[in-house]
C-alpha cells in the first residue's frame, strides 16, 4: 500500500513544486529579517525539532473531539476542537520554519503535507463557527469535523513519510560509529586560519586552527542538518558556518550556535604522531 500512496504523492509535484518554491521565497524574506525567531521555531535552543513535538497536540485534540462528538458531549467536543485549532496554528509556524530549508523531493512532500493541513484547519474552523451557532447546525459541524479529521490523518501520514522515509530534520550522524580508536589522517599540515578537509578512516573531518602553534580543532565535515560540506564553509565568531543553510557550530565543542540545525556536530581530538603525521579519534565524551 505504501508504494501506491508514495506514487500518488509523487504525482503532485506538478503543482506542489512551484507552490512550495513560491512559498519558500516569501518565508525566506520573513525569516531572514527575524533569524532568532526562526532558530526558536526550528528548535535550535531545544536540541530537537519543535515541529514534531507540537504536532502531537492537534492530532490528540482532534481525536478526542471525534470521540466526544460521537458520544454527544458537545461542550467538551467544542473545547477539544478549539484546542486543536490553536495547536494547528502553532504547528504551522514551526513547520514553515523547517520548510524554508527543504528542497527537492522533500519540498514536494512538505508542500503536500502543508496543503492537507491547511485544508484540515479550514474544515475544523468551519466546524467551530457552526458549533457556536444555532444547535440545529450541530450535525453539519460534526460532519465538517469528521472530514477535517480524515484530511488531518492524511496530512500526518505524509508528514511521517517526510521525516521517517525521506529523512527531513533527521540528525545526519544518527548512525555514525562512536569508536574512540585513533585513526591516521590523510593530511599532515593544517595552515593557520584555513578550513582543511581530512579523512580519519571513513570519517570526513574539517580541521582548523586560528594561528600557527594553536591546537587543531576537528569536527565532522558533514553538517548534522542536511549533510552540507562544512569544509566549504566560513569561520564566523569562533564557529564554522555551513555553506548550504547557514547553520553554525562552535569549533571548540561542536555545539549549535545558530540554526536551522538543532543537533550538535561530532567532535574529534587530533594529535601529532612520532613520524610527524596526524591522527584523530572521536572525543570520548562526545555522544
Per residue in 37-92, pLDDT tens?
999 999 999 999 999 999 999 999 999 999 999 999 999 999 999 999 999 999 99
Q: Are 182 and 280 in contact (CB under 8 A)?
A: yes
Cell triple for 43: 528548535
Q: Which of 110-114, 176-180, 224-228 has the lowest mean pLDDT?
A: 176-180
Question: Can you count the helices (H) and strands (E) in the chain?
Answer: 7, 10
Average pLDDT over the chain, rounded to whole? 94
**CA nearest 189: which of 167, 208, 165, 210?**
208
Q: HSE of 108 in the Cβ direction (CA atoms, 13 Å)? A: 14
The H or E element that residue 95 is part of is helix 74-99
Amino acid at each position: 500500500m505504501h508504494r501506491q500512496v508514495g506514487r500518488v504523492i509523487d504525482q503532485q509535484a506538478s503543482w506542489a513544486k512551484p507552490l512550495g518554491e513560491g512559498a519558500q521565497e516569501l518565508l525566506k524574506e520573513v525569516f531572514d529579517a527575524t533569524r532568532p525567531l526562526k532558530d526558536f521555531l526550528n528548535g535550535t535552543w531545544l536540541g530537537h525539532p519543535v515541529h514534531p513535538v507540537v504536532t502531537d497536540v492537534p492530532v490528540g485534540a482532534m481525536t478526542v473531539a471525534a470521540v466526544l462528538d460521537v458520544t454527544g458531549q458537545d461542550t467538551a467536543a467544542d473545547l477539544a476542537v478549539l484546542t486543536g485549532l490553536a495547536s494547528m496554528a502553532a504547528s504551522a509556524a514551526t513547520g514553515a520554519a523547517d520548510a524554508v530549508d527543504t528542497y527537492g523531493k522533500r519540498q514536494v512532500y512538505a508542500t503536500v503535507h502543508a496543503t492537507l493541513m491547511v485544508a484540515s484547519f479550514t474544515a475544523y474552523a468551519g466546524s467551530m463557527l457552526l458549533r457556536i451557532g444555532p444547535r440545529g447546525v450541530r450535525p453539519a459541524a460534526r460532519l465538517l469535523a469528521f472530514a477535517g479529521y480524515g484530511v488531518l490523518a492524511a496530512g500526518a501520514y505524509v508528514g511521517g513519510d517526510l521525516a521517517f522515509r525521506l529523512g527531513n530534520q533527521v540528525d545526519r550522524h544518527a548512525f555514525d560509529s562512536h569508536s574512540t580508536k585513533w585513526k591516521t589522517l590523510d593530511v599532515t599540515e593544517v595552515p593557520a586560519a584555513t578550513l582543511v578537509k581530512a579523512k580519519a578512516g571513513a570519517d570526513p573531518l574539517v580541521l582548523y586552527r586560528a594561528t600557527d602553534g594553536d591546537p587543531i580543532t576537528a569536527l565532522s565535515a558533514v553538517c548534522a542538518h542536511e549533510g552540507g560540506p562544512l569544509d566549504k564553509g566560513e569561520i564566523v565568531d569562533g564557529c564554522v558556518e555551513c555553506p548550504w543553510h547557514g547553520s553554525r557550530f562552535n569549533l571548540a565543542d561542536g555545539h549549535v550556535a545558530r540554526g536551522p540545525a538543532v543537533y550538535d556536530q561530532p567532535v574529534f581530538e587530533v594529535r601529532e604522531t612520532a613520524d610527524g603525521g596526524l591522527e584523530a579519534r572521536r572525543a570520548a565524551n562526545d555522544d
